[in-house]
Amino acid sequence: MSEEMPYIPYGEEGEWKKRFEMTIPILLLILVFVIVAAKMNWLVGVPFIGDLFKGPNIDIAIIGNDQSLIKVIETDIRKDLPVNIKIFSKSDLYGVRDAATFAKYNMIILTEGQDGDTIELERYTLEYLKSFVDSGKPAIVIGLAGNKIVGSPQASGWNIMEFVPASCKASKCEETAVSFDRVTMFVRDINHPILKEFIEPLNFSSGQITYTLINPSGGVSILDIEITTGADTYTGTALVEKSGGKVVYFAFHPALYPPLLHNVIQYLR
């Protein structure tokens, strides 16, 4: 008659310890994978799980009915950033009579609007935008947006707002348009969070590139632009970050380079 093996309870301390020790490396591997996946944005496209890694919503007030920008935000930026937008067209802005209207948003993007109609803004609108940035909230400025004041053709709207880290190269700001294949961008600071993933040179893929001729003013150029026309080459500033502030200025339209817009919003949020 064979002897029966003694019964060892499953929960006995030695066996439990052994199983737990075997589990630790697996848990560590899972943890490392989740951290790396979150850093690389691999999980943002996964239903339900991705929403956990997008962070809190970014409510953005877009000044100007800029359809190119709106399309890029809806088709590209929203893929992995939880962006909500409210558009303030030129006519909408006439109804804004206090700074509290903008205060409810996390960020402002100041655009040239539809056919450039928000290049010129009312003085009170410019003052409301200044209050928004003075409160510590971030802003993105594109091209000549807000550069002029209604009823004061010789005055600068940027001087009223005070936060735009750019100034005109000449007595007035000008824009130039060239074919995409004549334009190249070069990174000033490869370690900057906005630019560290890009390999220079940065090239546009198609279309006409409209560029605003500016100098950095109260800010630092983090991306330069080089334009070749015939035998001449012009080098200028493409992207400026305000010194000590949460403002980024685009000298070209960011819809022409969506990954850059994505990184700027993510950086400023």
Which tens digit of pLDDT belongs to each residue from 107-165? 999 999 999 999 999 999 999 999 999 999 999 999 999 999 999 988 999 999 999 99
Checking DSSP bridges between strand 139-142 and strand 107-110, what pairing results, if any? parallel
Contact status, residue 242 vs residue 250, Cβ threshold 8 Å: no
Residue type, 67: Q
Percent of the chain with pLDDT over 70: 83
Which secondary-structure segment (H or E) carries 226? strand 219-229
DSSP string of 198-212?
Answer: --SSEE--SSEEEEE
| Residue range 10-53, pLDDT digits in tens | 555 566 666 666 777 777 777 776 665 555 445 544 554 545 54
| Residue range 49-60, pLDDT digits in tens | 545 545 689 999
pLDDT band at 190 (very low <50, low <70, confident <90, very high): confident
For residue 117, report the phi and psi dihedrals to the nearest 5 degrees.
-75, -10
The predicted pLDDT at position 84 comes to: 97
The predicted pLDDT at position 172 comes to: 73
pTM of the full structure: 0.80
Contact status, residue 152 vs residue 123, Cβ threshold 8 Å: yes
SS3 248: strand
CATH for 54-268 is 3.40.50.880
The predicted pLDDT at position 44 comes to: 47
The predicted pLDDT at position 46 comes to: 54
Provide the sign of the torsion angle of the four alpha carbons 87, 91, 94, 95, taken in this order. Answer: negative
| Residue range 205-236, pLDDT digits in tens | 888 999 999 999 999 999 999 998 888 888 99
| Mean pLDDT, rounded, of the chain | 87
Count of CB atoms within 10 A of residue 21's CB? 9
Question: Hey, which residues does 88 pair with through a beta bridge?
Answer: 63
Percent of the chain with pLDDT over 90: 67
Residue closest to 141 by CA, chosen among 174, 111, 175, 117: 111
The predicted pLDDT at position 4 comes to: 61
The predicted pLDDT at position 90 comes to: 96
96: left (phi over 0), alpha (psi -120 to 50) or beta: beta
Structure tokens that stand for 240 in this block: 């400026």
